[in-house]
Structure 1
C-alpha cells in the first residue's frame, strides 16, 4: 500500500472517530447539534460556549466516577428535601451505615429577584421533590434511606432503585461557572444544600409580559438547560414564572425568570 493510501485511510479513520464522538455527545445533549450547526454558519460564540460546557462536564464526570458508590435519587414530600437530608445524615451515623451512605445532596442555585423594588438573592432547588444520594445499595442502607421520615420512594421500581448515570448527576452538581483562580467549586451552605450557581453581578430580573400561561418554552440556563417546559403561572409583580418540567417521569414545577427561557415557535 502506498504512502498516499495510508494517509487517506488515516484521515478517514480520524473523521469516523470524530463523527462517532459527536453522535455520542448529541445523544446526551440534542441541542449540541444546534450549536454545531450554528458554528458551521459562522455563529461561533454559542458553539464555543457549548464546547466549553461539554469539556467541563466530561472532566467533572470523570471525577465523580472516582468516588465510591453509585448515585440514586429519592423522592420526598414537597418542601421536605432539606429535612430529608438532615434526617438521613443523622440516621446513617446513628445506625452505623456511614460506610455505605457516602453523600446526600440537595442541589440549589442562587438568583437575583426584584421584590418591593429591591434586588434580593433567593434560592431555587434544582430538583424540587428529590434528593441525590451516593451510596452502596444493600439491604441495610436501602432500609435506612427508605424509612427516613419524609422519603416516599427511590426513583425506579419499588425495591429496585435505578442507578443514575454519572453524566446526568454531573449536570446537577457541576458549578454553573468554571472554577476561579482560587479553585472555588460548588459549596454547601449552612443547611447542607449544594450551591451550584451564584448570581452574576450584572444579572437583573426582567418583566414577564412577553410570556403567557400555557406557552411552551425552552430553558436556556442552569442544570435544566435545553429542557422543554410549559408555563403554568406568571407573577407580573415580581416577574417570577412557574413552569412544569418532566423530571424522572413526573411533572415538576420549577421557578424561572424571563431571561432563562425562550418560546418554542
Structure 2
C-alpha cells in the first residue's frame, strides 16, 4: 500500500450525520498531528414565515484530514467508530487533488470551515458576485434561485463533479 511521507489532504467516508462526532473522536484519539474538518455551508431557510440562517454540511458523510498518512495512522483511523473507510483505490489511499483544494480553500478558508453567504446581482444573463466566498467563481455557478436565496455551484471533489447549493443574497444593481 502506497502511503505519503508528505502532508496531504485525505477523505474519510463516515456514517451520515456522524461527521462531527467522528471528528471529535479523531481529535481526541489522534491528536495534534492531523487537522480534521467537516466543511459546512450557510443557507437561508424559511420556517414559520421567517428567514433563518442555518448550517448544513457541504459534503454529507465525509471528514477531510490533513496530515502524513502512514501504516500506523491508517490502522488507527480504521478503528474509530463511525468511520466506514478511508477513500482509496486498489493500490493507495487517495489524496485530494491540488486543483480541487484550491477552490475549497477559497470557499472555506476561515476558522469555522463554513462557507458564508455571497452577495450577487444579475446583469442581463450574467451573474456578478460583489462579496462573499464565491467572488471570482462566477463560472462555476450553474443556477441561481433568487426566491430561495441559493446558488447551485459545480465543484470537483475526489475527481467527481458535484453540484452543491450555497447561500446567496440576490440584490438589485444600483
> What band does the TM-score fall into relative to the shorter chain?
0.5 to 0.7
Structure with greater Cα Rg? 1
Structure 1 stretches of 4+ moved >6 Å:
238-242, 249-253, 257-260
User: Does 2:51 correspond to 1:125?
Assistant: no
Distance 1:249 1:167 in 2: 10
Gaps in structure 2 of 5+ consecutive residues: 1-5, 121-128
Higher share in strand: 2
Higher fraction of helix: 1
Distance 1:169 1:253, change over 3 A: closer
Aligned to 1:198: 116
TM-score by length of structure 2 reads 0.64
Distance across 2 between alignment mates of 1:164 and 1:172:
10
1:187 aligns with 111
Aligned residues: 149
Taking structure 1 as reference, are residues 108 and 160 closer, same or farther at Cα in structure 2, changes over 3 Å only? same
Pair 154,171 (structure 1): closer, same or farther in 2 beyond 3 Å: same
Contact 1:174 1:186 survives alignment (8 Å) = no
Partner of 2:126: none
**1:17-42: CA deviation from partner (whole Å, max 9, x where unpaired):** xxxxxxxxxxxxxxxxxxxxxxxxxx
- Which of the residues 16, 22, 25 maps onto 1:84? 22
Counterpart pick for 2:8 among 56, 61, 70: 70
Flag the structure with more relative contact order, 1 or 2, with Cα contacts below 8 A and sequence separation at least 6: 2
Native 8 Å contact 1:76 1:150 kept in 2: yes
Correspondence 1:226 to 2:140: yes
Distance 1:199 1:246 in 2: 20
Distance 2:161 2:8 in 1: 25
Q: CA deviation at 1:117?
A: 1.3
TM-score relative to the length of structure 1: 0.44
Would the aligned equivalents of 2:41 and 2:167 in 1 still touch at CA under 8 Å? no
- Unaligned 5+ runs, structure 1: 1-67, 177-184, 189-193, 204-219, 230-235, 261-265
Equivalent positions of 1:51-66 (< 5 A) are none
SS at 1:161 equivalent: coil
Which residue matches 1:164? Answer: 96
Partners of 1:227 and 1:130 in 2: CA distance:
23
